[in-house]
Amino acid sequence: MRGVCSIVLDTDKAFIAFAGLRGTRLISCQELEMPAPYKTKDILSWLRENTEILKAKIIAVEKKHLLRIERIFLQLPWNTFDIIKVQEDIPLKRRKKIASGDINFAKRYLENKVLDWDDHCIHDIAARYEVEGKYYKFAPLGISTKKININLLLIRVKDRIYREVESIFDNLDRNFGGFIAPQIGIFSSAFTKKDRARAVVSIDYDKSYLVVLRGQDFIIGKEFSFGLQQLIGELGKRFILPFHLAEEVFMRYFSFKETPFSKEVTIKKEEGYMNLSIQTLNSFIKDYLKTQIQSIVQEVIQINTSPEFLMSFIGRLNSKEGFYGFLNSFISYSLKAPIQKSALSSSCGCLRYGVNPFLENDHKRRVSLMQYISGVYKEYF
């Protein structure tokens, strides 16, 4: 079976998602961890240093699931790309009904005008269209006009970086599927439509990120210093534990489920042993998490005005049973679990968007061969 793969980097490890591919439909997206932290803040250095580990992971998955990984998508780390917003009228050659090709032409026109010669555009998302004084959320196909006004969001990297990554994957005998911006990978972990106001919070190792889609426009740049590393550090301070031991306690014993007050765990420290109440541990972590998450939700309240707002959370806290029940106890918004319920990162979202870039394909309709030929004929004549 044909397969695809995506890579997402965090400061303590990397995550890789694999899936079979049937047409444009993903079959069973699975996520694996990889002991390759992203600390250099240089995507090319990370790839060069971890090529062999990555190759071994891919080959092992291919053998186990009888796949052939054809394309690899890479989610860019934050602050490694540029975002440009542009809005302009694009004249058509004559008055005509807008077709898919006209939207493509308008996007390329703005890209060529705005981007530098050495830029590589990885996303071109139309936030809104205007035709004949009317606004449209989606591509106004079939509307007769002489010009289109597009509010376009462009995300770019330097072309040399794209080409070098492409070369690295060529040496692995794999095709580079392309970069995915992190806010898009995060959003696509929970949602595959853009017709309602939605938000996704990604709680990563040393930071958290909020991505909001409202009225077709991304609210970008909401970064929070809170992350799993900070939580573990506070846990260590509270119970006088070194970081590595606090991390082990969190991973092995913390739960969002209710536990009997009498349940304890004995922890070996350098100077001896200590008994720790599981209920005390859980209560401390839940109180701390609630405070941090409420500060993120407060940002959403300032942005959101829609009564149909949906929120989702991804990250390693999803591995803890009862996480969404905990969130429901103090968040008033409707919550939706990620598409991959056990998702520890946005790797499956990155993969889903790479295969189906729905934010950029709102002007592409599935048509039969005869409809396609008929459309080409009408456009030509």
Q: Which residue do the tokens 């995915």 mark?
A: 180
Among 145-154, 215-224, 282-291, the least confident range: 215-224
Distances (CA, A) of 197 to 146, 166, 194, 216, 295: 31, 35, 8, 8, 19
Split at pLDDT 50, 70, 90, the class of 377 is: very low
Rounded Cα–Cα distance for residues 211 and 220 (Å): 6
Quote the tokens at residue 122.
């990885």
Q: Sketch out the chain's domains with CATH numbers.
A: 82-159 (3.30.1490.110), 228-287 (3.90.640.10)
Q: What is the mean pLDDT of residues 18-41?
A: 89
CA distance linking residue 24 with residue 303, whole number of Å: 34
Residues 64-69 have a mean pLDDT of 91
Residue 166 has pLDDT above 90, yes or no: yes
Percent of the chain residues past pLDDT 70, beyond the cut: 91
What is the Cα–Cα distance from 51 to 37, expressed in whole angstroms? 13
Structural tokens at position 23 = 């047409």
Burial class (CB in 10 A: 0-12, 13-18, 19+), 239: middle
The predicted pLDDT at position 220 comes to 63
For residue range 90-140, list pLDDT tens digits in order. Answer: 999 899 999 999 999 999 999 999 999 999 999 999 988 999 999 988 899
Determine contact, residues 86/121, Cβ cutoff 8 Å.
Answer: no
Identify residue 52 by its one-letter amino acid code. Answer: E
**pLDDT, tens digit (0-9, with 9 covering 90-100), for 311-357:** 999 999 998 989 999 999 999 888 999 988 888 999 999 999 999 99
44 pLDDT higher than 70: yes
How many Å apart are CA 74 and CA 72, to the nearest integer?
A: 7
Q: Which of 338 and 371 is assigned the larger pLDDT? A: 338
Q: Which of 250, 334, 262, 339 is nearest to 289 (CA)?
A: 250
Q: How confident is the model at residue 368 (pLDDT cuts 50, 70, 90)?
A: very low
- Please state, rounded to an integer, the average pLDDT across all residues of the chain: 88
What is the tens place of the pLDDT at every residue in 252-302? Answer: 999 998 877 677 888 877 777 778 888 999 999 999 999 999 999 988 888
At 264 the pLDDT is: 82
DSSP for 74-109, written as a single string:
EEPPTTSSEEEEEEEEEEEEEEEE--HHHHHHHHHH
Provide the pLDDT for residue 221: 60
